[in-house]
A = this chain, B = another copy of it.
Amino acid sequence: MTEDLIKAFRSLAALSQSDADLITQLFKEKTIKKGAYFLTEGQICKHAGFIVQGLMRYYINHEGEDRTYAFASENNFVCNYESFIPKTPSLKNIQALEDCRILQISYDDLQLFYKQVEQGEYLGRVIIEQVFIQTLQDLSSFYTDSPEYRYEKFIRNHPDLQQRISQYHIASYVGVKPQSLSRIRKRISTSHD
């Protein structure tokens, strides 16, 4: 089950066999049922995960309403670093939208990873950089982009996920009520004709 994870790390840096063995040891398998949570608001995020199979959404309570600001699926890392690193309660929720199989690592084991994997610090830095940029883009878009733009972005960034995500959750990501989503769809398809 760790093959995809090892492959993800190897796309960034060379790993020896003993590095790969250590990674297999440090990351533990976990399943999360559809509808259940990887993390809920108020909890401290105690693990960073890697999605082997399944789909999750990140959402935040924004002015009394649940608003989805990101999706994560196979080969994505999943974590709320704002809670995980300083060990403070999460303001965000991460929920499984399908039955998920993940590999997860605790904070302490991640420190071992950084120290004992030969290029562990390098991997940690470049992965956190990618997550940093992605998270900032997700959040800026969430607060400033129009629903139309967010819908177009969703289609562009997640062509593979459209069939797997309900209209309800796509609407939550776009930032409109489900009944408004079809109007946005229609406007966009008309303007592209």
Q: B125 near A91 (CB under 8 angstroms)?
A: no
Chain A: interface residue total (CB-CB under 8 A): 23
Dominant secondary structure of chain A at its interface with chain B: helix
CB distance from A68 to the nearest CB of B (A): 16
Cβ-based interface call for A114 (8 A) = yes
- Whole-angstrom distance between the alpha carbons of A125 and B125 in the complex? 5
What copy number does this chain have within its complex? 2
Given contacts A82-B133, A125-B121, contact A140 B139 (CB under 8 A): yes
Q: A133 near B81 (CB under 8 angstroms)?
A: yes
Q: B139 near A85 (CB under 8 angstroms)?
A: no
CB distance from A63 to the nearest CB of B (A): 8
Residues of chain B with a CB closer than 8 A to A143's CB: 143
Q: B139 near A136 (CB under 8 angstroms)?
A: yes
Q: A129 near B129 (CB under 8 angstroms)?
A: no
